[in-house]
């Protein structure tokens, strides 16, 4: 396993270097909340809260989940990422471009304990 210093030497920001040096975590479950936050349970037993509002406000593909209805269609896929289908009638396993996802490392580093 690499150290924090080794990840920093690779140009990784400190929070991500610390995350990888301590071992990666898998998302076990994720629950969307009414305030556009997500409560996430990781495989190490930690429960953390991720605020999605700043991501939505940046625009881009995440504008597709700016309504409560679309935001609450969130799910955890087989890769243990938090996902949304842009069009719920399209199978994102067939049409990958239909899927918006957030990687576990982003979800962990950018969230706060709850």
Residue 15 pLDDT = 96
- pLDDT grade for 111, boundaries at 50, 70 and 90: very high
> Using the 8-state DSSP alphabet, how is residue 102 labeled?
E
pLDDT over 90 (residue 44): yes
In this prediction, residue 51 carries a pLDDT of 98
Residue 112: how many CB atoms within 10 A of its CB?
9
In this prediction, residue 96 carries a pLDDT of: 83
Mean pLDDT of the chain: 95
Q: How confident is the model at residue 59 (pLDDT cuts 50, 70, 90)?
A: confident
Q: Which residue has the tokens 């940046």?
A: 58
Residue 101 above 90 pLDDT? Answer: yes
Please tell me the number of Cα atoms within 13 Å of 90 on its side-chain side. 12
Strand order in the sheet with 99-102: 75-76, 82-85, 99-102
Residue 71 Cα distances to 20, 78, 84, angstroms: 28, 19, 8
């Amino acid at each position: 396993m690499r150290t924090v210093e080794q990840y920093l030497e690779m140009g990784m920001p400190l929070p991500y270097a610390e995350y990888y040096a301590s071992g990666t975590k898998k998302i076990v479950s994720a629950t969307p909340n009414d305030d556009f936050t997500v409560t996430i349970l990781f495989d190490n037993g930690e429960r953390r809260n991720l605020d999605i509002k700043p991501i939505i406000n940046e625009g881009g593909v995440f504008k597709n989940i700016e309504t409560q209805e679309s935001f609450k269609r969130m799910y955890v896929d087989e890769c243990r990422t938090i996902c949304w289908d842009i069009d719920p009638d399209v199978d994102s396993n067939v049409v990958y471009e239909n899927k918006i996802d957030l990687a576990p490392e982003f979800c962990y580093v950018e969230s706060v304990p709850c």
